[in-house]
Amino acid sequence: MCGARFTTCELVQPHNIFVAKKDGRREEFNRDKLSAGIRKACEKRPLPIGIIDKLIDNVEAELHHLGKTEIPSSLIGDLVMQQLEKLDHIAYIRFASVYREFADITSLKQEVDSLVSKEAKIPVSVSQPPLLPSEELGTLVNGHQRGPK
């Protein structure tokens, strides 16, 4: 227990972080607000139990690790995007659509195309057969549809 004469208790707890918003406002970092945005992006996605909390913990730990008292909201968004890109591409696109404020379908398509091209560079596991024959996969990667819907 901390006595009135000791100030070491403050060293044990992480410092307060303030978020510098795009419009110039500053507000105290709010884990619940971060959590709500991430959970909304991950809603109805088949993610393991506890993975979202771990993602939030990772982002918050990184913010504290920076040792700064004020952090731009864009940095927080970028950290979340990095984590979501590794976790779930649909959640990533959902979060990106709000965070990056896509103005039109072209901006959204560019982000999806970027994900597809990154994924195409990842080698397919030898032990796992592909879901689609290689010619169909090539057609999809090149942006063509398989056929009429």
- 140 in a domain, yes or no? no
- 72 in a domain, yes or no? yes
- 74 in a domain, yes or no? yes
Q: How high is the pLDDT of residue 10? A: 43
Q: How confident is the model at residue 131 (pLDDT cuts 50, 70, 90)?
A: low
Q: State how far the Cα of 53 lies from the Cα of 28, in Å rounded to an integer.
A: 20
Question: Residue 103 is part of which domain span?
Answer: 11-110
Query: Hunting for tokens 């809603």 — which residue is that?
Result: 43
pLDDT exceeds cutoff 80 at 3: no
Q: pTM of whole model > 0.75? A: no
The dihedral region occupied by 97, where left means phi > 0, alpha psi between -120 and 50, and beta the remainder, is: alpha
How many structural domains is the chain composed of? 1
pLDDT exceeds cutoff 90 at 57: yes
pLDDT exceeds cutoff 70 at 28: yes
- 147 in a domain, yes or no? no
Which residues neighbour 70 within 8 Å (Cβ) at sequence distance 6 or greater? Answer: 17, 18, 19, 20, 26
Lowest mean pLDDT among 8-17, 27-36, 59-68, 140-149: 140-149
Rounded-to-5 percentages of helix, strand, coil across the chain? 55, 5, 40
Q: How high is the pLDDT of residue 60? A: 95
- 129 in a domain, yes or no? no
| Mean pLDDT computed over every residue of the chain | 80
